[in-house]
Amino acid sequence: MSKKKGRKRSSGELSDALTPDPNTLLGLRIQHSWREKGALTKWKGTVLDRLSVNTSLFMVKYDGFDCVYGIELFSDERVSNLQVLTEKVVNNKIKIPHGGGAGGEGGGAPDPVLYMYQLWDDYKDGDLRILPEAENKHLLPADRKPGEETESLVGKQVEYVTDKGVKRTGLVIYQVPAKPSVYYIKYDDDFHIHVYDLVKTS
């Protein structure tokens, strides 16, 4: 998890911090420490959502980045000193970028965290596989029973094989209401939220 060097906090921010409550974080400003490979950094951002399909997973928009991270704020060992700030959110209608791939070429544009892929061919050819519920019963939403039919893939665990033959597993965490063929997938080995458009293109 990399970031640019952030600005110094004002002296009043820490003293104004509140005790975090996972049930009341939505829309609030937070800050926490992040330890990775021995390095300790400070992160500050806004909590956008808590996922019903995995209630330990929060979608956070960090300051200085046009991206959204999926972070288990209360269970990830790399997160420490989590604090809720009293500062007001100026505009909670944050635009989430929908990238066209793994970043633009040239121009120095930042690599987006929401990736849009046309994955029908991958799904058809077996490179993207929806795992049977028998393998992921513990991931089912609370209002669904094993074997119950559903039109949505939310709550399904997926397996994706990359061009290099590497298998990645993840969870379908969201379906876009305005375009039901579009899903958000959070891979187990990645903080990024990937956007997949599972439609037939030909």
Structural tokens at position 182: 């579009």
User: Could you tell me the pTM of the whole model?
Assistant: 0.55
pLDDT score recorded for residue 112: 38
pLDDT score recorded for residue 127: 60
pLDDT score recorded for residue 173: 87
pLDDT tens-place values along the chain, 202 residues long: 655 444 444 433 443 445 588 888 888 899 999 998 889 999 998 888 888 888 888 988 888 876 778 889 999 999 999 999 887 655 444 333 333 333 333 333 334 344 444 444 444 445 666 766 645 554 445 555 555 545 678 888 888 877 788 888 888 888 888 778 788 888 888 877 887 776 655 4
Report whether 195 contacts 119 (CB < 8 A). Answer: no
The DSSP-derived string for 29-86 is: EEEEEEEETTEEEEEEEEEEEE-TTSTT-EEEEETT-S--EEE-TTT-TTEEEEEEE-
pLDDT score recorded for residue 49: 85
Residue type, 86: T
pLDDT score recorded for residue 40: 93
